[in-house]
């Protein structure tokens, strides 16, 4: 479990995160949603240690990340898989080399062991025999799956996904969502996904945290989000006039 306790973060005069408290449980897809500029990325960066919190703390299965030194944090980072927006594959490396990159950085596995692990991860995302392709030779959906294979290469306890559907067509988005959901359940990972995508919210939102003005404005699941009367949530869920009219007709 990941616990966020009383986190505040400012940039100069700008107070971005206000006393954030949240819990993300294993075996669940936890979503952080909200309008643009409300603090989702800053919160996620604070959780994974890419930014320091001003006050408050982050705990990974009871281990206080905020109080750790660099060496201790490095151990926790080995347990975190990251799926970046836009996939962030290394263009000059093959698919196999991309997936082996975290293993090269963090483990003393032999080359054969690393290739075996890369093959296992590629099989898991249904991309066997693509080892020697370069990212430019792969479609956007394939690149996302390669990035997922890389994110799970270290067998992480925690998986962070930043806008996993950005730039994908609706059908491929659903494939990626389902893959994230399946591996979360299969490996009992604590998965945290930042998204704007309402399809994702409905497909995979076991637990949803809605961030507004840097605060946890609302928490619930993908059923509760459709019935809440919270006006900011209604604005988010039924963003277009068309959807608002549809809601009016249905209720
Ligand atoms: N390094 C930084 N220095 C100063 N301000 C920052 C920095 N990073 C983020 N901010 C500010 O913090 C606020 C929240 O930004 P954040 O990126 O977390 O929003 P977001 O909810 O993730 O938005 P989006 O959905 O558009 O990615 C914004 O006003 C942003 O300008």
**Residues 106-139 pLDDT 10s:** 999 999 999 999 999 999 999 999 999 999 999 9
pLDDT tens per residue across span 40-72: 999 999 999 999 999 999 999 999 999 999 999
Residue 248: pLDDT band by 50, 70, 90 thresholds? Answer: low
- Predicted pLDDT at 250: 62
Is residue 214 lining ligand 1, measured as CB closer than 6 Å?
A: no
| Confidence at residue 238, expressed as pLDDT on a 0 to 100 scale | 82
Question: Does 9 sit in the ligand 1 pocket, CB within 6 Å?
Answer: no
The CATH code of domain 2-79+158-250 reads 3.40.50.300
Share above pLDDT 90 across residues of the chain, in percent, rounded to a whole number: 76
- How buried is residue 202: exposed, middle or buried, by Cβ count under 10 Å (0-12/13-18/19+)? middle
**Mean pLDDT in the chain?**
92
Can you name the residues that pair with 58 across neighbouring β-strands?
A: 4
Q: Which residue has the tokens 């930014």?
A: 51
> Is the confidence at residue 249, as pLDDT, over 70?
no
Burial of 54 (C-beta count, 10 Å sphere; 0-12/13-18/19+):
middle
The residue nearest atom 4 of ligand 1, judged by CA position, is 11
Residue 86 pLDDT greater than 70, yes or no: yes
Mean of the pLDDT values across residues 20-37? 95
Going by pLDDT thresholds of 50, 70 and 90, the confidence category of residue 246 is low
Q: Can you tell me the mean pLDDT for 210-237?
A: 91
Helical segments of the chain, H only: 40-48, 70-77, 95-106, 111-124, 140-151, 170-186, 198-204, 224-227, 231-237, 241-250
pLDDT tops 90 at residue 219: yes
pLDDT exceeds cutoff 90 at 239? no
How far apart CA 238 and CA 231 sit, in angstroms, is 10
d(CA 169, CA 76) in angstroms, rounded, equals 34
Does the pLDDT value for residue 87 go beyond 80? Answer: no
The finding on whether 157 has its CB within 6 A of some atom of ligand 1 is no
Ligand 1: nearest atom to the Cα of 12? 4
Please report the pLDDT score of residue 198 as a whole number: 83
pLDDT of residue 203: 86
Give the pLDDT score at 1: 95
CB 210 within 8 A of CB 216: yes
The candidate with the shortest Cα–Cα distance to 205, out of 226, 227, 220, 189, is: 220
* Residue 196 in this model has a pLDDT that exceeds 90: no
The predicted structure's pLDDT at residue 237 = 84
The pLDDT score that the predictor gives to residue 169 is 87
Our mutation pick for probing the ligand 1 site, out of 7, 34, 38, counting the most ligand atoms within 8 A of Cβ, is: 38
Give me the mean pLDDT over the 96-112 stretch: 95
What is the per-residue pLDDT for 79?
96
Domain spans, the chain: 2-79+158-250, 91-155
């Amino acid at each position: 479990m990941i616990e966020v306790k009383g986190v505040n973060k400012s940039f100069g005069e700008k107070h971005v995160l206000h006393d954030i408290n949240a819990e993300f449980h294993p075996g669940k897809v936890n979503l952080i949603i909200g309008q643009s500029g409300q603090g989702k990325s800053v919160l996620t960066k604070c959780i994974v240690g890419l930014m320091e919190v001003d006050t408050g703390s982050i705990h990974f299965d009871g281990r206080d990340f905020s109080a750790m030194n660099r060496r201790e944090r490095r151990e926790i980072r080995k347990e975190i898989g990251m799926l970046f927006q836009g996939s962030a594959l290394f263009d000059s490396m093959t698919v196999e080399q991309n997936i082996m990159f975290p293993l090269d950085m963090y483990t003393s596995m032999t080359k054969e062991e690393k290739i075996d692990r890369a093959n296992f991860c590629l099989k898991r995302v249904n991309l066997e025999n693509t080892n020697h392709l370069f990212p430019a030779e792969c479609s956007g959906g394939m690149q996302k799956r390669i990035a997922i294979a890389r994110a799970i290469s270290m067998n992480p306890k925690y998986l962070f996904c930043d806008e996993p559907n950005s730039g994908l067509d609706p059908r491929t988005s659903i494939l990626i969502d389902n893959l994230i959901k399946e591996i979360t359940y299969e490996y009992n990972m604590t998965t945290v996904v930042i998204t704007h995508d309402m399809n994702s919210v409905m497909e995979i939102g076991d637990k949803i945290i809605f961030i507004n003005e840097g605060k946890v404005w609302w928490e619930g699941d993908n059923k509760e989000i459709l019935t809440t009367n919270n006006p900011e949530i209604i604005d988010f869920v039924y963003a277009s006039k068309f959807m608002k009219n549809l809601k009016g007709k249905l209720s």
